[in-house]
Chain A
Amino acid sequence: AQTVTQSQPEMSVQEAETVTLSCTYDTSESDYYLFWYKQPPSRQMILVIRQEAYKQQNATENRFSVNFQKAAKSFSLKISDSQLGDAAMYFCAYRTTFLGGGADGLTFGKGTHLIIQP
């Protein structure tokens, strides 16, 4: 079974600064997907960024980028130019790859609470 570990329960960053959230995972699979989800206090989980394991290039989405180190099983999220609206719980998640139908529920870490200091 896969496991996802987020070792930072809480992180704090000044507005406009850069912050990096850490995530490590354990799997015996060679192909899979990794995700970062954001959960604001309203609880609606929103996808921030995704990474396919077979792609060596790190994914980027505007101010959000990842550092994917497959050999180290590490998947960190970098938020540049932090904004007050970035304050939320951030969850790292793992999804297996399959062809056709099959179980593909996400395995989540415990989350990191990101605080933005004005």
Chain B
Amino acid sequence: EAGVAQSPRYKIIEKRQSVAFWCNPISGHATLYWYQQILGQGPKLLIQFQNNGVVDDSQLPKDRFSAERLKGVDSTLKIQPAKLEDSAVYLCASSLLGLPPYEQYFGPGTRLTVT
């Protein structure tokens, strides 16, 4: 079975520019997560979708970050405008809805560098 796909793998932008990341979850996975992983730290949840609805976005900096999941499949995460502190790896993960063992499957990530 195909894994979680993310693109691009790398992105370099200047501060105040905008950027978007794309994620395609494993087929049939209703739940999708975006995590931010700053260098030297563990991933931090930004937003969780269940189908195309938001379940948890309590840690999403809503003044500059936005995310959507159209038709309950692919998702995009956008940053506008970017700040230096947004430099991180953005990980997308997916899981089956409400079924043990609740494993989350991660994509390869997008490494963002803001200069």
Residues of A with Cβ closer than 8 Å to B? 4, 6, 33, 37, 42-47, 50, 91, 93, 95, 100-111
Q: How far is the CA of A71 from the CA of B115 in the complex (A)?
A: 46
Query: What is the distance, in angstroms, from A116's C-beta to the closest C-beta of chain B?
Result: 20
Interface residue tally on B, bucketed by range: 20 to 34
Could you say which of B21-29, B67-75, B79-87, B105-113 contacts chain A?
B105-113
- Chain A residues positioned under 8 Å from B106 (CB to CB): 37, 44-46
With both beta carbons as reference points, the residue of chain B lying nearest to A105 in the complex is identified as: B45
A105 with B102: in contact, given A43-B108, A45-B91 (CB under 8 Å)?
no
Within 8 A of A (CB), among B80-105: 89, 91, 93, 97-98, 101-104
Count A-B contacts at CB 8 Å: 61
A12 CA to B89 CA, complexed, in Å: 25
B107 touches A108 (CB 8 A): no
A44 closest partner in B (C-beta): B108
- Name the CB-closest residue of A to B44: A108
A103 with B91: CB separation less than 8 A = no
Residues of chain A lying within 8 A (CB to CB) of residue B101: 33, 50
| Interface residue? B55 (CB, 8 A) | yes
Distance, CA A37 to CA B105, complexed state (A): 10
Give A97 to B40 CA distance when docked, in angstroms.
Answer: 28
Residue of A nearest to B57 (CB): A103
Decide if A44 touches B55 in the complex (CB within 8 Å).
Answer: no
Q: In the A-B complex, list the 8 residue pairs whose CB atoms are closest, starting with the nearest.
A: A108-B42, A105-B45, A103-B56, A45-B106, A43-B109, A44-B108, A105-B48, A108-B43
